[in-house]
Amino acid sequence: MYFKEVLYAIGKLRGEMIKPSSSTIPTKIAESHRWFPYFKDCVGAIDGTHITTKVRRSHSLSYIGRKHYNSQNVLAAVDFNMKFTYVLAGCEGSTHDATILVDSLERVDGLKVYEGKLYLADAGYACHPSFLPPLRTTRYHINEFSTRLYPKNAKELFNLRHSSLRVTAERAFAALKNKFNILEHKPFHTFST
């Protein structure tokens, strides 16, 4: 009976809960010789996640993405303290992450990046002055670097450090989904809600 009232009340808190990132060097980077000065201009990381959704059968096809179930693709920017600084929800599950990023940059209330600052991104995003993806055709994921497989060159070292810093976005999504289990299950409410 009060679901929508609570939903709107929570929506009004978004300005207090989701704040733009600061233009200063994040403490996590400033205090680490692994990341400073190489990532001193990074203010956070961006990533997308799929949230299960319930849509009409006539719209179902466009909401089925790589996860093979109806979902919306949600783009988020996260600072290195795992705090969300920007969220764009509602995109169809079949929409590519890079397309959602372009959409968020073109919106009046979209993602803003301070001049000279950038976000770390995964390989699904193109290289852009404000977004730094890993180097392609080079080992990237942390699990590819075991205790015996150290980085062999500067490119692999860059990707290892990029990966260990960018994982903040994935950790933030995991923490959010652990806290709010409804994000992992088929919702009982309609997509418009």
pLDDT tens figures, 9-26: 877 887 777 777 777 888
Asked if residue 150 belongs to a domain, the reply is: yes
Domain limits for position 127: 19-184
CA dihedral sign, ordered 127, 128, 133, 135: positive
Asked if residue 113 belongs to a domain, the reply is: yes
Question: Which pLDDT score is estimated for 65?
Answer: 75
Question: Which pLDDT score is estimated for 188?
Answer: 66
Q: How many domains does the chain have?
A: 1
Range 56-64 contact pairs with CB under 8 angstroms and sequence separation of 24 or more: 61/94, 62/92, 62/93, 62/94, 63/92, 63/93, 63/94, 64/93, 64/94
Question: Which pLDDT score is estimated for 117?
Answer: 92
Position 192 pLDDT exceeds 90: no
Asked if residue 120 belongs to a domain, the reply is: yes
**Cα–Cα separations (whole angstroms), residue 163 to 66, 70, 177:** 22, 29, 21
Asked if residue 65 belongs to a domain, the reply is: yes
Asked if residue 67 belongs to a domain, the reply is: yes
Asked if residue 4 belongs to a domain, the reply is: no
Asked if residue 92 belongs to a domain, the reply is: yes
Asked if residue 2 belongs to a domain, the reply is: no
pLDDT bin (cut points 50, 70, 90) of residue 39 is very high
